[in-house]
Every structure is written in C-alpha cells, then in structure tokens.
Structure 1
Amino acid sequence: MMLDTDFETDTAAAPVPAACASAHASAFDPTALNATRRQTEWWELNQNPHVDLLVIGGGITGAGIALDAATRGLSVALVERRDLAFGTSRWSSKLVHGGLRYLAKLQVGIAFNSARERRIIMERTAPHLVRPLAQVTPLNNYVNPLQILATRAGYRAGDLLAIAAGTSRRTLPHTRFARPDETRRLVPTARRDGLKGAWVNYDGQMIDDARLTLAVARTAAGEGAHILTYCEATEATGNGAWLTDTLTEEKLYLHAKAVINATGVWAASLDNSIKIRPSRGTHLVFDAAVFGHPKGALTIPLPGSVSRYLFVLPADKGRCYLGLTDEDQPGPIPEVPSTPEADIDFLLENINRALSRPVTRADIRGVFTGLRPLLAMDGTASTADLSRRHATVLADNGLVSIVGGKFTEYRLMAEQAVDAVVNLRGLPAGPCRTRNFPLVGAPGYRRGASTGDSPGLGVFGAGSAGHAHMPGSGKSRVGAILLGILGLHEAPSRETTDWRIAPHESGRTLGRRIAVPKFLWRRFGNEAVNVVKSAVLERPLDRIAGLALVRAEIEYAITHEGALSVEDILERRTRLTMIPAQAEAARGEVTEIFTALEARVPEVPAAIQGSAKPPVAV
C-alpha cells in the first residue's frame, strides 16, 4: 500500500466573502476554546465552585480523562498551568504504536492494549489525524542475521496482534517484502550497496501529537467540560484544590467530588509519594529533501539490539524526524528539556550506517526532546528496559494520580482513571463511551453527542453551523473510515481540492465553492472547511512565510483552539518552532493576526453575568 505523503499540494484559493464570514462569525461552536470562553468559565466557577471531577494536567492523558468523564455525564473542570500539550504530549515520535517493542520484551498485555487502542484511534475516534505509515527495514550488510530474523518475526507477530485487536487490513496492511527497486522508492537515501530488499510493516502516524491532544480537549469541551489553561492547581486533595489564574493572579478554591492528578512527569509535585524516573527521548528535525522525500519511515535496528530501532519519519510541512534516544534524565524536571550534544552525536552516528549519503549537523534544522513519565521500579535498570505500564495511585488525602503509560493508550488510561474515581467516590456516572466516540473533525463526529446539543460556552466559536458533512455519507462505514485514513474527501474531481460547502443546519447554502488546501484536510479533517469559512480577516488562504500554512489557521488557533499568545501558536498549534528559522520568518505575520483578533474579542455576554463580580479581562 503506497502512502499519500503530499504535504505541500497547492491549490487556487478563493477568499470567503466578507458577508459570509461575518455570518459565520456569529455562529455557535461548543467545541471552540478561546480567551472569551476561558474568561467566562473562570467566572462561572467563581459563582459556583463545585464540580464532580477536577482534572489537573492538560496533556493527552488529562484531556482524555476530561472527555471520558464528560461523556459519562459528569461535570468536569480541567486545569493546566501552561498550555494544552505543553509537556511530553508534544514531544513524541508522533506514532500510534501497535506494541511491537513490548512483544520483544514479552510484555504481551501492553502490546495487545496498544494494538487495540491503535485500532480505536485509527478506525473510529481520529482517522482524520492518524494514518498508516510504512516502516521500511532494509536488508543490508549493517543488519545482522539475528536482527533480520527478529525483525521479520516481530513484524509477523505484530500482524497477529492487529488481527487479535480487530484491525482491518484496509486500515493497516500486513507485513510484506519489498524488492530493492521499491525499497529505494520508499526510502530513497537508504544505503544501496548490498541492498537485498526490505521488510515493510505498517503502523499509525499522527499528523501531530499536540493536534491530537487539542482535538481530545475540544471534544471534551463540546461535551460540557471546562478547559482552563494558564490555571495552576495547588494544595490538591481528593476534595478539591486552590486554582490560580496565572494571567490575572485571581484565585478560587474549587470543590470537587474527586480529583485526578494527570500531570505526567510532574506528578510528584502534587503527591510526593509517587516516584517517576524520567526517560529522555530526543529527535532531530530535517527538511524532507535531505532524505529524498521518503514515502515510508526508514527503520533500522540499533547495533546489538533486537528491540530498539531508529526511525526517519516523514512528517507534516515537508519535514523528517530522526529519533529517538532513551536515556535517564537525572535531577530536577525542566519545563522544556534541553538536548544534550551526546544525543545528537548518537543519532547521527547510528543513522549514517544506513544511508547512501551521510547527514551532518549542517543538515539539522531543529531538535526536540521530551521526557517519558516512567514509573520508577528497579533503580539499576536502564530506562529502555523499564516497563511502559501505567498505574492509578491513591494518596492518603484522597487525590488520585494516573502515572506511567504511553500516548497510544491515553484513552484506556482515561477510562481506568475515571472508573477508579467513580467507584471510589460513588459518582453518578454512566459507562465509558469513548471507544466509539469520534473526535472533533473525524467522520461521524456530532457536537453534543452525549449532552444533546446544549448551548455550552463557545462564545467566540465561529462557524459551527456550517461544518462539512461526512465524506461518503450514505456509504459503508468502512468506506468512510478509509476516506478519513487516507486523507481522501469527496470533491468535484480528483484534479481539484475545491469543496462545495455543505448546507447550513438552517438549510441555507452558500452557493459557491471554497478552495481548501489538502494540508488543511490533513490537519483538521472535516473541520477544514470550517477553518476557512469562519475566518473574518482578509486573505484567509494566503500562505505565511511561504510555508504550507495559511492565515486562516492562525485565526482558527485563536478563535477555536485556545491559543492565548503568539508563542502558543508558534509552539503548539503550528509547530513552527521545531524549525526556529521558520518560526522567526512567520512571527511578524502571526503577531499581526493575533493583534488584529485581540481587538475583536467580544465582551462576555451580559446574560450570563449576575450581580457578582464579573470576570477580569485577559
């Protein structure tokens, strides 16, 4: 199965008429996160400081818990002292793993859970954000016979896991052998001397980890969860915590029937009985051209290992990521981990064994390093040997913490954490619903699916009424899933990316077409049309700094995706800071858009304000 990796497809772009944009700007979107909604929700909690569940931490696990609890009918507040996906959740390899590495260590339970959760993400909850990726392991002189045997056996075992997990072969094809000529097409810069072909296995790849985290948080917001960034929780117990709005220094005590600590590597800051042993994972960022614009991930075993591999991963915006390391991170946990020179040397030295042209430091465009929140077990074991198991921990003061685990299993971790507090505190919750609950932008997503389209608080949310219908409506579920997985969408023809906007929910139709670049479909799924048509500023489809990034994306980050600063946009909504030169090239125009929209922020609706102190503007 060949992969569609055209991240840079151009399209003729027609601007949205101002009248249409204004009409959409007044529409209501309960998933929209923005400064006004945050201000309103802080005010609401001031007036009624009681919730069923307080979630501390806005990474993928915390967002997953908020969604799980909200879809069970619980009142939920999620607080994050920085931005959504500020920590480990944005520093992964962007893979949705099927668990091969854990099979090699005979951790069958973790491997099966990974395969099952991968299927749920790829076939139901987020097929618009996770797609199949060919992992290509060339058979060459630098791979010894034991590694070849282990790779083939591991890939075949992975196929069996996928079958056991119920994964369709249309979602993830089974392992196959590629001849040398096909190997060179998939990974053009693979070393050619002695090349006998390659084993090709398929796994899931996110368009971006921070974007998936954001989709989970927005979906939770659409189900009624309060999502408050730049809000620090202190003195947390099982009954509540002090919250501080770090932008205004206002404080309130939020009472909760249960509190879950989902702060990852910082979990011990709320419960000092928890022992985390952070593991450092480093990636290098390159232009995809350095590796010949690969269509698959060059995947090679590390010398002397049958369970650890290096990857060259084709990525969004014409990039490739080379990773990754697995090393101890001693000492205090930093806000943003630095990258040791030794990590860079390790990655370059080991990947160059497999390349026809060595890469050097001069080829590197950026680096990023994240910390895995591993549970401390045996202090003498290497972090690579520590289990990726997760655990739910109950403190003496009633605080529940969810620790350990891995990105792919976020939904399962959330389900188990909510189950734990429901049983512990006797909360009036229904059963878990997230196994079959599409995220915003996914085929089949419907706002308010569990709450019944209630108004909510998306007071700055634009354009929800005109979201595009699900591609392939009226077709089979499998067909619709494949459309999402492969990044395909019903359009007037294969030669154009134009889209005739679906009717409004009111029944009116815009009666014109809007050109939507393919890269917007990849990043937003069925939200792509909404990104364009909800824009109120001029030239929404003009590119920024010549990149595969348009002005409408910046506006959407502010009005729908909770970006409260230019850094939020550059760091986590667009990921431009992964290549610092690109971030600086775009900073001026991003700042201009942010400033223009800041002047348009609406007042908090008077209807929701009582006689009590109103919220402070941010």
Structure 2
Amino acid sequence: MQTTALSPMQRQKSIDALKDRTLDVLVIGGGVTGAGAALDAVTRGLDVGLIEARDWASGTSSRSSKLIHGGLRYLQMLDFKLVREALTERGRLLTTIAPYLVEALPFIYPLTHKVWERAYVGAGLMLYDALSFAPGIKRGVPLHRHLSARGVKRLFPDLADSAAVGGIRYYDARVDDARLVATLVRTAVGHGALAASRTQAIGYLSEHGTVVGVRARDLESGAEFDIRARHVIGATGVWTDETESLDGLPSHADAAAATSPSGRGLKVRASKGMHIVVPGDRITGTAGIISQTEKSVLFIIPWDGYWVIGTTDTDWTQSKAHPVANATDVDYLLEHANSVLATTLTTADVMGTYAGLRPLLQPVADEAKSTAKVSREHTAATPAPGLTVIAGGKFTTYRVMAEDVVDQALGSQARANPSITAGLPLAGTEGFAVRRRQRAALARRYGWRLEQVDHLLGRYGSLIDEVLELIDADPSLGEPLPGADRYLKAEIVYAAANEGALHLEDVLTRRTRMSYDQRERGIAVAPAVADLMAPILGWDAAAKAAEVQSYRDRTEAELAAQLEPDDAHAAAIRESASEIRPTAAGAVR
C-alpha cells in the first residue's frame, strides 16, 4: 500500500493526474457509497478517480444516527433481505473491515406489557439474531437476552419506572460515520486511487451518445478541467437528480432523466433525520434505548462522552445543501425522550443538533407514502451509456451498494473481476489489536489517562502511530486543545496534514465533533484550531480570520434556525450564511 495521507500535496497531485489520463472509473460523490465505490474499483486493479464538491462525508454520511445496524423497523416491515444484508455487513465491519471505528453497543428495548409484548418482541429479536448468522462471517456481538424490570434498571438507571415493566437487551454497533468515510478514501488512495475533495462535477463529456468523463471545477483555485473516464459512477445520494441533469448528458437520455433520477420509474426523495446531543452527565446508563414513536424510532445512544438522541423522519423540500433542525424537531425529540427518562431534559440541555437527508428511492406511484414507510433498498441504474448511478440504501450497507454499482458499471467484465472488499481491512485496522494491548504502556509513555489512549485508538486505530510521531517531533502537540480538552493539538495538525481537511469547518464538524460536543458549538476554540491548521495549509492572518468568521456565521445561523418553527424558515436562515468555498449553481453539490 502507498501512503494513505490525504495531504494538500496529495490533492494537487491527484488533480494534475486526473487531467492527464483516461481513467477506468471516475466516481462522483465523496460520501460513504462513493468512497466505498472508489475503494471497490481500485482494489479490482482499475485506474480510479474520486471527486467530491465539498468535504468528504459533508452530506448525509456525517449526519447519521452513528449506528451500524440491521434495522429493527425494517424487520417489522418484513424486509428480511435488507435486514440480513445489513446484519452481515455489521459483522464484517465489527470483526474485519474497521473494528476500531465500529464498536458493539448494547440496546434495551423497554417492554410496557408483561406477557404478549415480551413474546412478540422476543420473537422478533430471535429472528434478528438468526438473520445475523452467515457462513464465514463472525457476528461480533452477543445474542439478545430478556431482562426483568430490575435488570433494566441496572443497565439504565435513568429509565423512568413507568417506561418499562421489563426489557430485552440486544446488540447493534455504533460508528464514527465521518471518520469511516475519510478512512475509506484514505484506503482507496493507499491502493492507488486519485482523490480530490472540493472538486465539483459541472457537466458531462460525451462522444457518440456515450458519457466519457466530466467537466470539473477545482473550487479552491477556480480552475476548470476535463476528466476522462471509461465509466462514470454517480454516488451522490439526495443529489442524484442533479447528477443526471448536468449539462452534456447524451440527448437520448434526457427524457428518461427528466422523468426520474434513474430512468426506471424511480425517484429520490429526501427525508430529514434530526438528532440532538446532550451532555453525558444528564443521563445515567450503560446501554442505548430504542423505542417506537408514532412517526419514527427513538434512539438514545451513548456516544463518546455524551448522548445522541434521534431521530425524525420527515420530508425535506428545501435546499439540500444545508438541512437544519428547527424548534419543532427539537421539541419532538425532547418530548419523546422525556416520556421514557426519569430525568427531564429541556432545551437548555441541548448542546448540539445536526440533521441529515436520507436518499430514499421511491416509485412515482407511491409519492404520498410517508418517508418512514419508504424502503431503504438501493438501486443502481444506467441512465446513459457510460454513466451509472446509485441511490437509496443505508449507511450500514454501503459496501454492498459500492460493489453493486461497480458491477453494473463494468457490465460483463465484472464477473471476471469481482469485488474483494468483503474481507479487506481499512487503513488503521492492521496492527490495531496489538496497539490496543499496548494501551497501558502508551498511557505511561505520554502521561495520559487510559481513557485518552482509548479515545485515540477509537479514532485512528493503528494509525495512532502517525499521530504519536507528530507528538514525538513536537511534544507541545501532545497537550489538550485549550477549551476542548477531549482532543489533542496533534489531532488538529493531523487532520490538515493527513485527513484531507482543507477548511476550519472540516475539522470542527467532521474530523472532530466540536460543532456539537462543545457547549458553544466550537466557536470559542475556532481561533486556536485555525492557528494549528494554518502552517499546513499556508494560511496567512487574513485567511485565518476569514475561516473563523465563516465558521462563526455558519454556527450562528444554525443556532438561529433551531429557534424557528418549521423547515422553510429554518432553512432560509441557514442559507443566509456565506460559505468559504461556495459550489457552482446548477451543478452537483
């Protein structure tokens, strides 16, 4: 494997190379599916490029419920194929692909009826466990177990007495979604892929009715250039419509693309899922909680020192670039969380919010159906020769989606050159088990608590060695970041030098979670973070000030939007904040 560093130099080298060669596969979209597709294609021995208009995982893929799961509600919908597929992928991620980024997590399903509900839910969870068994795949989690009311209280003391007469404990897994995406990109680059973020597809190149590449714009420099490829894959999620509407699409495909995103009677529908974040000391428990609401599923998830509570499932018809929470969303989640908690949470406890858009595939005939009832299945389609798109699906099944879309793009060539990603560890996995056993020695060497070492191992795996090299070269980088002592200064430098962060918001919202795990959403620490990034990215004083002001404007707009009663008003406020590198109008965002 070559270096996996996503450095500014790597990005420029990738752009230079993208201009000069004809690729086998070009992937548009740097979310989890696009990054997975780039990794799938490059590990088949293909010459691969990957471009993303904003930061890696800046859309849906950094705004999930942070879960790798089969989906109990899909089981309730009798979608056994999807559940089995997702549970198989859960096992692979936990045990082979990314065991440091994906961690088993116990959940309690509270029971409010002693007999019939225990039998009904117990049978469902027995099936859930059964579907997770697959030949050659380790499950990575224990089987479910029935609990008495007292057993529930031992695991989750802050569950209200009225919320459960007993419960069932089962396991799924949690994930740092944005870091998983960045690691997929890094792994693909390590195997030879060319990857460039802040690089936007603005039109197609076509010859004789076939797509042969894209016209792209480097949003950092403003330069435009052509990228030629034998196959173009669009993995842009809720932007699938825009992907198929770019200028230059062969004319015979226009009618199909105008009718539906895939040209097969399907269209992508955006569903907003919103989450709130509350401090870890506001809820006492060692497991997550799952229960059903009238509109969605309620998750209360312990996550890295705080709790994530979600989610909503509502149509989103505003700008797709910046989905935000509104006051109605926050009140909805607080009301349903308080219905099961002994502790009463208020808006004063909400230290952060985030919202993402699920790309749901929906037949045109089912437009009136609630988004909560729309299938999470995915579809790959070819709206024009040379162009393959994929939409739908869920985060957990990204690898299957990536395999399917590359298979479809390659057509008859795929059988002779199949995917190998099912057993391929991501960067940071090899050596992780050894570093985990050395955690006590690392703590002594650097004067850290074991919890600090665990934090680093959970973010970097065996790539912790690269972070430690920075600290060995400059011991001051081993100090906590002032105002956000959960993070080390070295992590900020590493994000800019090795993880592809080009702007302040990339670090504060995706490489770290300071945008919602800090009370002031990271505004207070932004200048110190900009100071650490500046030498890597060549920022002068004016550039640093612009980055800090842009982040402040964005954050203040999101806070103001959170007070609005509906999506239209909230979105208008968020859209008023300027972007440090705006994308081109009418192109894939």
Q: Deviations over 1:317-348 (max 9, x none)?
A: x1111011111112x43211021322222211
Q: Which letter does structure 1 place at the counterpart of 2:123?
A: A
Question: Any conservation in 2 of the 1:266–1:333 contact (CA below 8 Å)?
Answer: no
Structure 2 Cα separation of the partners of residues 81 and 194 of structure 1? 45
Whose RCO is larger (CA < 8 A, sep 6+)?
A: 1
Counterpart of 2:575 in structure 1 is none
Q: Deviations over 1:500-528 (max 9, x none)?
A: 89xxxxxxxxxx99997221011111112
Equivalences for 1:214-363 in 2 at 5 Å?
Answer: 214-236=182-204, 238-272=211-245, 273=257, 274=261, 275-292=267-284, 294-303=285-294, 308-316=296-304, 318-330=305-317, 332-363=318-349
Q: Which letter does structure 2 place at the counterpart of 1:159?
A: D
Question: Any conservation in 2 of the 1:262–1:401 contact (CA below 8 Å)?
Answer: yes
Displacement after TM superposition at 1:578 (Å):
2.0
Residue 133 of structure 1 pairs with residue 112 of structure 2: no
Counterpart of 1:180 in structure 2 is 149
Displacement after TM superposition at 1:264 (Å):
0.6
**Cα distance change of structure 1 residues 216 and 497 upon mapping to structure 2, 3 Å threshold:** same
Question: Any conservation in 2 of the 1:56–1:79 contact (CA below 8 Å)?
Answer: yes
Structure 2 Cα separation of the partners of residues 256 and 388 of structure 1? 30
Equivalences for 1:443-522 in 2 at 5 Å?
Answer: 444=430, 469-472=431-434, 489-491=436-438, 497-498=442-443, 517-522=453-458
Counterpart of 1:373 in structure 2 is 359
Displacement after TM superposition at 1:428 (Å):
11
Q: Which moved more, 1:370-379 or 1:521-530?
A: 521-530
Structure 1 counterpart SS, 2:56: coil
Question: Any conservation in 2 of the 1:73–1:429 contact (CA below 8 Å)?
Answer: no
Counterpart of 1:384 in structure 2 is 372
Structure 2 Cα separation of the partners of residues 579 and 519 of structure 1? 14
Structure 2 Cα separation of the partners of residues 428 and 203 of structure 1? 33
Q: Which letter does structure 1 place at the counterpart of 2:433?
A: P
Structure 2 counterpart SS, 1:371: strand
Question: Any conservation in 2 of the 1:112–1:165 contact (CA below 8 Å)?
Answer: no
Structure 2 Cα separation of the partners of residues 528 and 578 of structure 1? 24
Q: Which letter does structure 1 place at the counterpart of 2:282?
A: V
Structure 1 Cα separation of the partners of residues 145 and 381 of structure 2? 42
Counterpart of 1:11 in structure 2 is none
Structure 1 Cα separation of the partners of residues 385 and 287 of structure 2? 49
Residue 364 of structure 1 pairs with residue 350 of structure 2: yes
Question: Any conservation in 2 of the 1:265–1:333 contact (CA below 8 Å)?
Answer: no
- Normalised to the residue count of structure 1, the TM-score between the two structures is 0.78
Structure 2 Cα separation of the partners of residues 194 and 87 of structure 1? 35
Q: Deviations over 1:73-109 (max 9, x none)?
A: 0011100010000100001001011232222111111
Structure 2 Cα separation of the partners of residues 422 and 277 of structure 1? 27
Q: Which moved more, 1:393-402 or 1:412-421?
A: 393-402
Counterpart of 1:56 in structure 2 is 28
Residue 553 of structure 1 pairs with residue 491 of structure 2: yes
**Cα distance change of structure 1 residues 254 and 546 upon mapping to structure 2, 3 Å threshold:** closer
Counterpart of 1:612 in structure 2 is none
Question: Any conservation in 1 of the 2:2–2:191 contact (CA below 8 Å)?
Answer: no
Q: For structure 1, list consecutive stretches of 5 or more residues without a partner in the other structure.
A: 1-27, 445-468, 473-487, 502-511, 602-618
Q: For structure 2, list consecutive stretches of 5 or more residues without a partner in the other structure.
A: 246-256, 262-266, 541-589
Displacement after TM superposition at 1:49 (Å):
3.3
Equivalences for 1:517-532 in 2 at 5 Å?
Answer: 517-532=453-468
What is the aligned counterpart of 1:399 among 387, 390, 399? 387
Question: Any conservation in 2 of the 1:497–1:518 contact (CA below 8 Å)?
Answer: no
Displacement after TM superposition at 1:537 (Å):
4.3
Structure 2 Cα separation of the partners of residues 404 and 147 of structure 1? 32
Displacement after TM superposition at 1:182 (Å):
3.6
Structure 2 Cα separation of the partners of residues 289 and 145 of structure 1? 34
Percent identical pairs in the alignment equals 35
- Normalised to the residue count of structure 2, the TM-score between the two structures is 0.82
Structure 2 counterpart SS, 1:282: strand
Q: Deviations over 1:92-150 (max 9, x none)?
A: 0010112322221111111111111111111110111111111112234xx69665444
Q: Deviations over 1:521-570 (max 9, x none)?
A: 11111112321213444412211124311011111101110011111111
Question: Any conservation in 2 of the 1:99–1:112 contact (CA below 8 Å)?
Answer: no
Displacement after TM superposition at 1:163 (Å):
2.1
Q: Which letter does structure 2 place at the counterpart of 1:37?
A: Q
Question: Any conservation in 1 of the 2:282–2:343 contact (CA below 8 Å)?
Answer: no
Counterpart of 2:511 in structure 1 is 573
Structure 2 Cα separation of the partners of residues 155 and 440 of structure 1? 33
Counterpart of 2:405 in structure 1 is 417
Structure 1 Cα separation of the partners of residues 499 and 361 of structure 2? 32
Q: Which letter does structure 1 place at the counterpart of 2:301?
A: L
**Cα distance change of structure 1 residues 105 and 166 upon mapping to structure 2, 3 Å threshold:** farther
Give 1 or 2: higher helix fraction: 2
Counterpart of 2:80 in structure 1 is 108
Q: Deviations over 1:575-603 (max 9, x none)?
A: 211246141232121111011333599xx
Question: Any conservation in 2 of the 1:72–1:429 contact (CA below 8 Å)?
Answer: no
Structure 2 counterpart SS, 1:430: coil
Structure 2 counterpart SS, 1:213: helix
**Cα distance change of structure 1 residues 251 and 101 upon mapping to structure 2, 3 Å threshold:** same
Structure 2 Cα separation of the partners of residues 558 and 67 of structure 1? 22
Q: Deviations over 1:411-466 (max 9, x none)?
A: 00111111111116x48973211011000111x3xxxxxxxxxxxxxxxxxxxxxx
Structure 2 counterpart SS, 1:539: helix
Question: Any conservation in 2 of the 1:74–1:428 contact (CA below 8 Å)?
Answer: no
Structure 2 counterpart SS, 1:258: strand
Question: Any conservation in 2 of the 1:174–1:201 contact (CA below 8 Å)?
Answer: yes
Question: Any conservation in 2 of the 1:135–1:202 contact (CA below 8 Å)?
Answer: yes
Q: Deviations over 1:229-270 (max 9, x none)?
A: 010112236310001101111111111000000011001102
Structure 1 Cα separation of the partners of residues 524 and 92 of structure 2? 38
Aligned pairs, number = 510
**Cα distance change of structure 1 residues 592 and 428 upon mapping to structure 2, 3 Å threshold:** farther
Question: Any conservation in 2 of the 1:570–1:577 contact (CA below 8 Å)?
Answer: yes
Question: Any conservation in 1 of the 2:163–2:339 contact (CA below 8 Å)?
Answer: no
Q: Which letter does structure 2 place at the counterpart of 1:384?
A: A
> What's the C-alpha RMSD, in Å, of the aligned pairs?
2.6
Counterpart of 1:93 in structure 2 is 65
Structure 2 counterpart SS, 1:217: helix
Question: Any conservation in 2 of the 1:119–1:165 contact (CA below 8 Å)?
Answer: no
Structure 2 counterpart SS, 1:53: strand
